[in-house]
Amino acid sequence: PDVIIEAQFDDNDAEHGQDHLQDTLADDIKKLSLDTSEKGETKQDDGPKVNDPRLLPDKFLQRTAKVVYILEKKHSRAATGFIKLLADKNSELFRRCAMFSPVDHRVPRAYVSLADCPPDFVTRPEDYSNTLFICRIVDWKEDSNFATGQLAKSLGQAGEIEPETEGILTEYGVDFSDFSSEALECLPQSLPWVISPGEIAKRRDLR
């Protein structure tokens, strides 16, 4: 959903006008048309098959590709969302896993271990229907529709500013922990600190 493929436009078409483009399309269609008998049956010939894409000009082809390897994982693999019980209560998976549904629908749903969930989640799942959790995707097997995740922590109630903010920062890999003592020592120690007139004169004030 994040990829937009735009059609290629040939400048020659603009020079010759729309009629030239229609004539080109008509000629290509004629080349691909099948001779049919009166009964509507397709005749067999020794020529190339019509489903051969090599017969089409490049500008009429939609190029496709396949992902074969991920060189660098840009996404943090962390997402905020909600946990709920699986629908099939009689399955073996129901006794081991819960379903994590991320708020961002671009992130896949994931199975999480019940051991990572709150102790009373199985008996009272409705108590956590509005609780935000952080989940990190650790694996996604080729034969599974859902990824495998690990719950990191509970953020709090959905809709509140602090849990929502922490979830966004975690998803994008922003370090919001407290500054270390080494970083704080780089700040002016003699307080109150003021900007000197010389600095104000040569800087743009963005306060």
Of all residues in the chain, the percent with pLDDT exceeding 90 is: 33
Indicate if the pLDDT at residue 30 is higher than 80.
no
Minimum mean pLDDT among 35-39, 76-80, 181-185, 192-196: which range? 35-39
Phi, psi (deg, nearest 5) at residue 179: -65, 145
Q: Give the residue from 120, 135, 201 showing the smallest Cα distance to 171.
A: 135
Rounded distance between C-alpha atoms, residue 50 and residue 23, angstroms: 20
Indicate if the pLDDT at residue 82 is higher than 60.
yes
Taking only the tens place, the pLDDT of each residue in 165-198 is 999 998 888 888 899 999 999 988 888 888 889 9
Average pLDDT over residues 68-85: 89
Check: CB of residue 158 under 8 Å from CB of residue 133: no
Domains with residue ranges and CATH for the chain? 78-172 (2.40.50.700)
CA 179, 181, 184, 185: dihedral to nearest 10 degrees?
-160
Indicate if the pLDDT at residue 50 is higher than 80.
no
Rounded distance between C-alpha atoms, residue 141 and residue 74, angstroms: 19
How sure is the predictor about 21, in pLDDT bands with cuts at 50, 70 and 90? Answer: low
Indicate if the pLDDT at residue 20 is higher than 80.
no
CB atoms within 10 A of CB 195: 10
Indicate if the pLDDT at residue 8 is higher than 80.
no
Please give, one letter per residue, the 3-state secondary structure of 86-140.
CCCCCCCHHHCEEEEEECCCCCCCEEEEHHHCCCCCCCCHHHHCCEEEEEEEEEC
Long-range contacts (CB closer than 8 Å, 24 or more residues apart) made by 84-90: 84/125, 84/129, 85/122, 85/125
Average pLDDT over residues 55-62: 82
The bridge status of strand 78-84 relative to strand 110-113 is unpaired
